[in-house]
Chain A
Amino acid sequence: MVDPSPPTLELKGLCKAFGGITATDNLSLTVAAGEVHALIGPNGAGKTTTMAQITGEIRPDAGHILLDGRDITTLPVHARAALGIGRSFQITTLFPDFSALDNVAMAVQAKAGTSFRFWRPARQESELRDPARDALARVGLGDRTEVPAGDLSHGEKRALELAMALAGRPRLLLLDEPMAGMGPEESPRMVDLLLALKGSVAMLLVEHDMDAVFTLADRLTVLVTGAVVASGEPDRVRADPDVRRAYLGEGDHAPC
């Protein structure tokens, strides 16, 4: 069976080593349009390194990265983002002195063509502010728009990360542990948010919270020391004895 339209993301034989450490070992996977593909594995398995190769922060030693069938392996970070890769970082990275609204407006501005505009006050441009307000409302920060990003709670910062990634209307969303460090009442809200987005944008999700993974993922890939141990539908992967031994351990929860 040949699928006529290429997947949103395709990784082909990706390899990356840091000195003697193999971080990515002949990794191939696809994320179809609108699909949520979860990437799981123990600490140090190479999940963040994989993300960084997709965004362009790290160059693979070998292999190819295709976005909608187009080879983007050698493009710089900003060019890939401009092609529709949105990202939330494992460790929150925001513009801490800007308000929440400024943060998202910057994401909108980045998508709105050149920023070599020197005269009009950007904070008065409704074409930047309105979509930014919408994105903040979508992640539940509608009443926190004027708060400096650095003063938001941890959960709110994670939500702001997501709003920034969404504001660029990405084709592919890379989420590196969006629930990391969230309290028991914040995590389910983030899961609900992502669930609401499901189908509208392709997502590659790295997450240690197995409940969230099994709630959200259409497909699951298990990575151990950079190599794929198993890949497929969540329930089948969960049942895989190799996976149970290598990673999932007893029950459905990560051993970390």
Chain B
Amino acid sequence: MADRARIAPLAFLALLLALPPLLEAADQAFYISLLTRVLVSGLAAASLDLILGYGGMVSFGHAAFLGVGGYVFGILMSHGFMGDALVLGGVEIPGTNEALILLPIATILAGLVALAIGAICLRTGGVHFIMITLAFAQMLYFLFVGMEDYGGDDGLSLWDRATLAGWDVSSDMATFYLSLTALVAFLVLARRLVDSRFGMVIRAARQNERRLAALGLPVQRYKLACFALAGMAAGLAGALTVNHAEFVSPAMVHWTRSGEILVMVILGGMGTLYGPVLGAVVYFLLEHLLSGWTEHWMAAFGPALILAVLFFRGGLWRLIVGKEMDTAGGEARGEAVHHG
């Protein structure tokens, strides 16, 4: 089992690396673009897993940070294309179409917004936390709807994709590999993180906050830092989504989007990081299959999801690698979220 846990991610990575040329050779290049959507959704889901699966923070507003990253990316891109500077409080900010500038800015700003929202939401717990994260995401939704300069309700179309260090990486193939690189980088960093001292505190906080405080740890500070880190990764996912779609709209932060990401995490397996990516793959696959079969695919998907949650409580990933995949001595029971 332990071996499978190590080999499975590498096998999936090898498959992903090989797929685009194969798809192109098979004249199925359309799927490269679909796969890119899957990857960036997988990144969003994996970032949610950090707070949900490890930290036990059930956020129903994670799409808010996707939206922030997406809009920051889209707005700066559009100014870059139009050649007019963005004026914010008298300061002129030039636009750009350089990914090496856009992606870090989108990531950091999403992190800052997560820090602010988290500081408020984390004062509550349980159902209140779910509701207030949802409320903040909806606030952002209406904020974006109100931004008439950037398309309001209809959203903002971009003219091209970003460059990377001046290189043209706008092809579907290059966009795929750019997105994959970001996903892999996040997964590598996040795996380190969850096993570090910081990660152990986060995992302990899911199980028993009161005990953690009694040991002398300021729990809220750690949870907030984790929430902000997850927000950063979601912001990156949002920026990459917009780069791929060449389009950003308020729909990106709609509560149904937050729900989708949540479903991917639960489907793939909370507290596994890789699982949510697999969850994204399966989600898109089911959407593809079921929507071809019936228009009301959500109605069929709902029951399928309930079955999945009931029968594979550890999620799909644990079905593949076994329950003890992250058991370097602990967490052998791979359970669902404990509410504090």
Contacts and interface: CB of A to CB of B under 8 A. Distances in A.
A78 B217 CA distance: 5
A77 B200 CA distance: 20
A81 B192 CA distance: 28
Interface size bracket, B side:
20 to 34
A96 B215 contact: no
Interface stretch (A25-33, A120-128, A219-227): A120-128
A111 B216 contact: yes
Given A121-B196, A148-B333, A98 B216 contact: no
A37 interface: no
Contact of A102 (B192, B208, B217, B330): B330
B222 A106 contact: no
A99 B329 contact: yes
Contacts of A215: none
A115 B222 CA distance: 8
Interface stretch (A10-18, A87-95, A238-246, A248-256): A87-95
- Interface residues of chain B: helix, strand, loop or mixed (majority): helix
A110 interface: yes
Contacts of B203: 95, 97-98
B6 to A, nearest CB: 14
A106 B215 contact: yes
Nearest to B214: A87
B24 to A, nearest CB: 38
B329 A115 contact: no
B331 interface: yes
Contacts of A121: 192, 195-196, 328
Contacts of A128: 197
B204 interface: yes
Contact of B197 (A77, A109, A148, A150): A109
Contact of B331 (A87, A98, A115, A117): A98
Contacts of B211: 89, 93-95, 164
6 contacts: A89-B211, A94-B211, A98-B330, A115-B200, A115-B201, A116-B225
Interface of B: 192-193, 195-201, 203-204, 207-208, 210-219, 222, 225, 328-335
Given A97-B335, A98-B204, 19 more contacts: A55-B214, A78-B216, A78-B218, A81-B214, A81-B215, A81-B217, A93-B208, A98-B207, A98-B330, A102-B200, A117-B198, A120-B197, A122-B195, A122-B196, A122-B197, A122-B199, A125-B197, A148-B331, A164-B211
